[in-house]
Amino acid sequence: MRRRAVLAAGLAAPALAQSPWPRRPITLIVPAAPGGATDVLGRVMAQSLGTTLGVAVVVENRGGAAGSIATEAAAAANPDGHSIAIGMISTLAVNPHIYPRLRYDPQRDFAPIGLIAQVPMVLLAQKRLAEGGLAGFIARVRAAPDTISYGSAGAGSNVHIGMVAFLDAAGLQMVHVPYRGSGPMTIDLVAGNIDSGMTGTPAALPLIRADRMAALGTTAARRLSQTPDVPAISETLPGFEAMQWYGLVAPARTPPEIVARLHAATNAALADEQVRHRLADEGALPDPRSAEEFRAFIVAELERWGVVARRNNLRPNE
């Protein structure tokens, strides 16, 4: 019996030796079209992860349905560590509350790897609505409910949920004009076809610096170093904060030792000065956490945005 056990162990060892990880390029599924902040952040992380893990990390862009299409594909991928995805506020905390036929569960279908960064948003408006700053804007909207418009990148998108949180906190009613992405929304905002809109810091900075739009407030808890003259919305609405956030997830049942290596590689990237500089260029604030802390963060965000979605009766394509 002892000889048989030793023989079995000897046969198993070469099999394990022949199955290192990673064995081939890793696919990083990005739930957005090329060119936007999500894509840029994904490519920065892909490059750094590839260097640390010694294998190419290939970005696969899949847009549509506020990131749901890509996230469904990630949930269904082989859990062997060769497919991972960007998970973010819209896909993991908002979509489950507004898409009734969503084919993934943020808690059941993913193994959290780690949080990457949080990105503040900026509330922009036409200058004619900006006299008196944010307080003046709120007063105008309150005096004329459902007449002043705001654009978004689509129902459930990061910027939509940020705007909904603002309206909820201020007790305001505005006209929602959804677009297929932040780019088209920003173009229409600059053209004067909509009254206001919220967008991530990277897209907002050029408009602010060119004095094209009035910047009424940022969604971070405090003023940003990039825009010290733009107040935080919390200065008018105490306690307000609504951040875009991005992390890495793997399909559920990915071996824990592989998730641990991916987590270590993620935190190594966030400690790298070049990566931090690239993230800063995108207005992103690195926020490394343990995998378990990221899991708890997702649960808390699911609960928070579920309350907002139900209270505002959010639905797709609103």
Surface-to-core class of residue 100, CB atoms within 10 Å of its CB (0-12 exposed, 13-18 middle, 19+ buried): exposed
Return the pLDDT at 283.
Answer: 80
Contact present, 48 and 269 (Cβ < 8 Å): yes
At 177-232, the pLDDT tens digits run: 998 777 889 999 999 999 999 988 888 888 998 998 999 999 999 998 888 999 99
Spell out the alpha helix ranges (H) of 149-255: 158-170, 182-191, 201-209
Q: Is the pLDDT of residue 86 over 50?
A: yes
Return the pLDDT at 205.
Answer: 86
At 22-41, the pLDDT tens digits run: 999 999 999 988 877 788 89
Return the pLDDT at 202.
Answer: 80
At 105-152, the pLDDT tens digits run: 999 999 999 999 999 999 999 999 999 999 999 999 999 999 999 999
At 234-264, the pLDDT tens digits run: 999 999 999 999 999 999 999 999 999 999 9
Strand ranges across the sheet with 26-30: 57-61, 26-30, 83-88, 244-251, 110-119, 285-286
Average pLDDT over residues 43-49: 96
Angle at 229 between CA 228 and CA 230, to 5 degrees: 95
Going by pLDDT thresholds of 50, 70 and 90, the confidence category of residue 2 is: very low
Average pLDDT, the chain: 90
